[in-house]
């Protein structure tokens, strides 16, 4: 399923859920409004029945009694006014929607009131024409009817009160139900949102993570990496396009390596012939040469040697990238580093720079390619000498006591997982040169990259030495990086896993650790 389809489906479910919740709440609000109207009408009827009508009955009873006693026509008018008001409100009751209980209570009340209303209408004539005893009897009969009506009015009020109580209970129950439904809907919506978001995010994040991992692999130069083409439609297409791109890059990289290897190999033979010819001419085999001519020939020979070194490095890099298996064996790391230091001391460029080797008190064996590892140490020493000022000292140290920063750097580069049964060992090459800026500490290991100091150095190379060194160290399961040397300069760290300590043996006498460099600095 495509990502766009998944997104549309998820949002459709969200919208449908929100619409259902909104519809339910609208209906709940409508019921609440209707309940409010019903309660208002019940309250009005209850007030009239329980208070106003009862007071009118009491007033009619009192005014009728006073009229009989005093024969004052003012009391008769009051009786008739109260009677008309009572009848009007009773007619209003009959015209509105009542509950069944109210309708049942209203029926006898309306019948009795019609009888009482006729008696009240004849009250004036009865009192005026009948003897006092007869008039009092008529009033007593009317009072009995009013008492019955009052009882029935109170029954109607009680029915209205019961209806109001039931409406209040129904309203409270509806509110509680709405509250529960709202909580369930909110919790369900939240759970569904989390579930759908998690599923949707997982379906997107996993392919993106694979794509990011593949991009890192390709950026590191591993063009054999391929992505799985399963998954959503868009990501499957992106994976196919990515694999096609990487395959093309792999082909171009292979063609580039083959071209560099072929050109480098084809150039070495004529270049060696040119160097031999120049050397022979400089030695006077073709006839006498002047000092000026000798100087020019030596400069030409030096340039040829530099070019030969560059071609050798190109061939070494091609061999490493071709995946040729090195010859791994158990190597005495101390002796290997000591031989590299001896070779560095013999270089003409080291006459103005001191070299000190801080070797441990015991031997260290590592499983390594001796030629490749020696090439790494030689290259780092040559660079340290090249960029060190006169009268400074290059310090080489081999130790199993890793600093916290070295342990962290090794873990970040995956060395910790490959330590094997032995401990890790680190070879440090520290100089007192200009140092390397922080933003270039990783770039110096890129192909053909050179710092500003490297581009301005005498006899600068082509920018492949550190690239080859890192490839060799990575092939040993180790790591190579650079850090700052305090107060100035740089330290190159070679971290190798699986170092072991053999039984102690006596070192050979007269090693480079006991000699001095050409200008007196300890080696």
**Which structural domain, as residue segments, surrounds residue 358?**
327-514
Helix/strand/coil for 367: strand
Q: Establish if 159 belongs to a structural domain.
A: yes
119 shares its domain with 44: yes
450 shares its domain with 312: no
337 shares its domain with 480: yes
- Tabulate helix, strand, coil % of the chain (nearest 5): 70, 10, 20
67 shares its domain with 174: yes
48 shares its domain with 76: yes
| Residue 397 β-bridge partners | 358, 428
Angle at 26 between CA 25 and CA 29, to 5 degrees: 85
Q: Establish if 222 belongs to a structural domain.
A: no
401 shares its domain with 463: yes
Closest CA to 331 of 195, 152, 502, 93: 502
139 shares its domain with 14: yes
| pLDDT reported for residue 520 | 35
Helices and strands, counts by H and E, the chain: 13, 7
- 10 Å CB burial of residue 195 (0-12, 13-18, 19+) is exposed
Query: Running along the chain, 523 residues long, what does each successive block of 10 average in pLDDT?
Result: 68 79 78 74 72 84 80 81 85 80 84 83 69 74 84 85 84 81 81 80 78 81 77 74 85 72 67 78 78 81 72 67 70 92 85 86 86 91 88 90 79 57 81 88 82 60 79 88 89 87 54 36 37
Q: Establish if 220 belongs to a structural domain.
A: no
Q: Cα separation of 75 and 54, whole Å?
A: 18
Half-sphere exposure in the Cβ direction for 43 (13 Å, CA): 7
Can you give the CATH number for the domain in which 177 is found?
1.20.120.1730
Task: Give Cα separations from 201 to 327, 353, 387, 437 (angstroms).
Answer: 48, 60, 52, 40
311 shares its domain with 168: no
Can you give the CATH number for the domain in which 285 is found?
1.10.287.130
Q: Establish if 200 belongs to a structural domain.
A: no
| pLDDT reported for residue 179 | 81
> Which of 318, 341, 363 lies at the terminal end of a domain, its last residue?
318
Task: Tell me the angle at which helices 370-386 and 465-475 cross, rounded to the nearest 10 degrees.
Answer: 150
Q: Cα separation of 177 and 183, whole Å?
A: 10
| pLDDT reported for residue 503 | 66
Q: Establish if 462 belongs to a structural domain.
A: yes
> Which of 179, 195, 211 lies at the terminal end of a domain, its last residue?
195
Q: Establish if 230 belongs to a structural domain.
A: no
| pLDDT reported for residue 456 | 56
Cis peptide before 487 (omega within 30 of 0): yes
310 shares its domain with 342: no
| pLDDT reported for residue 133 | 73
302 shares its domain with 350: no
Helix/strand/coil for 396: strand
Provide the CA 193 distance to its chain's centre, in angstroms. Answer: 17
Q: Establish if 238 belongs to a structural domain.
A: no
Contacts of 392 (CB under 8 A, 6+ apart): 353, 354, 431, 432, 433, 489
333 shares its domain with 294: no
pTM above 0.85?
A: no
Can you give the CATH number for the domain in which 351 is found?
3.30.565.10
| pLDDT reported for residue 408 | 78
> Which of 195, 211, 234 lies at the terminal end of a domain, its last residue?
195
Both tokens of 182, joined, read: 């709202």
| pLDDT reported for residue 127 | 65
Q: What is the dihedral of CA 310, 311, 313, 316, to 10 degrees?
A: 180
| pLDDT reported for residue 509 | 39
Helix/strand/coil for 258: helix
253 shares its domain with 273: yes
Both tokens of 184, joined, read: 């369930």
Q: What total of structural domains would you count in the chain?
A: 3
């Amino acid at each position: 399923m495509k990502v766009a389809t998944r997104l549309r489906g998820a949002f459709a479910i969200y919208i449908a859920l929100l619409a259902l919740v909104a519809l339910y709440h609208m209906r709940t609000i409508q019921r609440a409004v209707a309940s409010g109207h019903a309660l208002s009408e019940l309250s009005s009827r209850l007030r009239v029945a329980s208070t106003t009508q009862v007071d009118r009955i009491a007033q009619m009873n009192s005014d009728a009694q006073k009229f009989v006693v005093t024969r004052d026509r003012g009391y008769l008018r009051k009786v008739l006014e109260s009677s008309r008001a009572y009848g009007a409100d009773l007619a209003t009751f009959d015209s509105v929607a009542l509950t069944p209980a109210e309708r049942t209570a209203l029926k006898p009340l309306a019948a009795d009131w019609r009888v009482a209303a006729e008696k009240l209408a004849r009250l004036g004539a009865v009192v005026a024409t009948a003897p006092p005893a007869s008039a009092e009897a008529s009033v007593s009969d009317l009072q009995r009817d009013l008492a019955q009506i009052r009882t029935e009015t109170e029954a109607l009020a009680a029915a209205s009160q019961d209806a109001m109580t039931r409406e209040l209970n129904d309203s409270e129950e509806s509110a509680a139900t709405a509250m529960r439904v709202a909580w369930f809907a909110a919790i369900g919506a939240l759970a569904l949102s989390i579930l759908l978001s998690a599923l949707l995010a997982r379906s997107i994040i996993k392919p993106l993570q694979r794509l990011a991992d593949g991009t890192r692999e390709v950026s590191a130069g591993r063009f054999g990496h391929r992505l799985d083409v399963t998954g959503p439609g868009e990501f499957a297409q992106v994976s196919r396009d990515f694999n096609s791109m990487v395959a093309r890059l792999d082909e171009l990289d292979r063609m580039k390596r083959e071209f560099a290897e072929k050109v480098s190999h084809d150039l070495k033979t004529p270049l060696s012939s040119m160097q031999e010819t120049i050397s022979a001419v400089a030695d006077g085999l073709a006839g006498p040469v002047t000092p000026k001519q000798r100087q020019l020939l030596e400069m030409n020979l030096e340039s040829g040697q530099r070019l030969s070194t560059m071609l050798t490095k190109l061939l070494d890099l091609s061999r490493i990238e071709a995946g040729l298996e090195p010859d791994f064996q158990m190597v005495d790391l101390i002796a290997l580093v000591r031989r590299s230091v001896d070779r560095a001391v013999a270089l003409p460029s080291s006459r103005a720079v001191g070299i000190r080797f801080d070797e441990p008190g015991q031997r260290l064996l590592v499983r390594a390619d001796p030629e490749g590892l020696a090439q790494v140490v030689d290259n780092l020493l040559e660079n340290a000498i090249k960029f060190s000022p006169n009268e400074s000292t290059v310090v080489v140290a081999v130790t199993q006591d890793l600093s916290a920063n070295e342990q962290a750097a090794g873990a970040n580069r995956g060395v910790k997982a490959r330590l094997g049964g032995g401990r890790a060992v680190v070879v440090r090459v520290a100089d007192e040169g200009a140092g390397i800026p922080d933003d270039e500490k990783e770039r110096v290991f890129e192909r053909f990259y050179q710092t500003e100091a490297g581009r301005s150095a005498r006899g600068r190379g082509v920018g492949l030495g550190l690239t080859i060194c890192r490839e060799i160290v990575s092939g040993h399961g180790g790591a190579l990086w650079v850090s700052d040397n305090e107060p100035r300069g740089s330290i190159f760290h070679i971290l190798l896993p699986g170092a072991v300590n053999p039984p102690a043996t006596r070192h050979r006498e007269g090693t480079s650790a006991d000699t001095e460099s050409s200008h007196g600095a300890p080696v």
